[in-house]
Amino acid sequence: MVVGFCMGVTCEDSDDCRGERGYSCNPVVGDPCDRDIDCPFDFCTEEKKLCFLSGDVCVLNTDCPGNSCSSPSLTPCIDASDCSGGADCIGDVCVGTCSIGGTVCSSNLDCSPNYCQTSYVCVNDPATDCTTSLDCPQTFCRADNLCINDTTIGCNPTTENIDNNCTVGMCHRQDDLGACDTLDREACASSDDCPRYHCNLSLNECHYPVDVACTTAAECPEAGMECDVSGFCVMFCNSDEDCPHTRCQGRCVPSQESDRLRCTDWFNPEVDCKRFDTEEDEQP
């Protein structure tokens, strides 16, 4: 039974896609979202190239200083006078130190090579090393108060997820219309077009779909909410009219418009789907 779909490589039309098993070129439509930051994004993408041992900035391996032994070749000895470069005679062999790190060696082969190694830093905070996106600040605003998608736009990293100044465009609306956060997903231009959340009359609290932790009411997402003694935002009510409107949501799509059409195959995503949000996509 078909229960979902997987996205493959980018395409312009279905002729770009493999013909078997129903591959065709379709728009990417992801999970519902309120803001760009609600959508998957990899902040750990900026390359940093440094020499493995010395830490020098590099482009090629030849940019890195070599790591050599003060006793460059295996040399038998009786005492230190038989050894060059300040090496000592230990166990009938000249023993020196590697030029980087100072480890003991008896030839250049004992010293680890110093090569140009690629690692990654956060695109929004290049001073922070990372291995995954979660190692980085979760904001489209860089540490220097400029947007990662458009450096002509200023922003505040601590408030960008509320201000949304950067407007990356991942939380996308079709023809400026979203869909209400309801079972029927009614079309909407704003939350005012959507029905209100229900009032739970047994508790006299609005049924809000997400538990939002808080220390003060100012941290709550809706005007009129209070920070309950339990540490979560609540809105008290006597009827549905006292509750906020459901949210008018977009859907997550890739940030680059050229990446928003993908070859699609309909089958079981839990078994067959591969990642499609990396730069090096696997061919379907």
Collapsing DSSP states into helix, strand and coil, what is residue 138?
A: coil
Whether 122 is in a domain gets the answer no
Whether 7 is in a domain gets the answer yes
Q: Are residues 251 and 186 in the same domain?
A: yes
Whether 251 is in a domain gets the answer yes
Q: Where are the beta strands (DSSP E) in the chain?
A: 5-10, 24-27, 32-33, 46-51, 88-90, 93-97, 104-105, 116-122, 125-130, 171-172, 178-180, 187-188, 199-200, 205-206, 226-227, 233-234, 248-252, 261-266
Confidence category of residue 274, pLDDT binned at 50, 70, 90: very low
Instruction: Choose from 14-18, 97-101, 277-281 the range with maximum mean pLDDT.
Output: 97-101
Residue 80: per-residue pLDDT? 87
Whether 105 is in a domain gets the answer no
Q: Are residues 253 and 234 in the same domain?
A: no
Whether 236 is in a domain gets the answer yes
Q: Are residues 239 and 256 in the same domain?
A: no
> Pick from 138, 129, 128, 118: which is nearest to 43 by CA?
138
Whether 283 is in a domain gets the answer no
Q: Are residues 149 and 211 in the same domain?
A: no
| Greater model confidence, 58 or 183 | 58
Q: Are residues 238 and 201 in the same domain?
A: yes
pLDDT single digits (tens) 34-88: 889 988 889 999 999 999 999 899 999 999 999 998 888 888 988 888 888 788 8
Q: Are residues 220 and 236 in the same domain?
A: yes
Question: What does pLDDT average to over the chain?
Answer: 85
% of the chain residues with pLDDT over 70 = 88
Are the beta carbons of 114 and 52 closer than 8 angstroms?
A: yes
Q: Are residues 234 and 202 in the same domain?
A: yes
pLDDT single digits (tens) 212-240: 888 898 888 888 899 999 899 999 999 99
Whether 189 is in a domain gets the answer yes
| Greater model confidence, 22 or 35 | 35
Residue 6: per-residue pLDDT? 56
pLDDT at 1 over 50: no
pLDDT at 247 over 60: yes
> Pick from 235, 230, 199: which is nearest to 215 by CA?
230
Tell me how many domains the chain contains. Answer: 3
Whether 118 is in a domain gets the answer no
| Greater model confidence, 27 or 278 | 27
Q: Are residues 159 and 233 in the same domain?
A: no
Domain containing residue 143: 138-167
Q: Are residues 160 and 228 in the same domain?
A: no
pLDDT single digits (tens) 117-131: 999 999 999 999 999
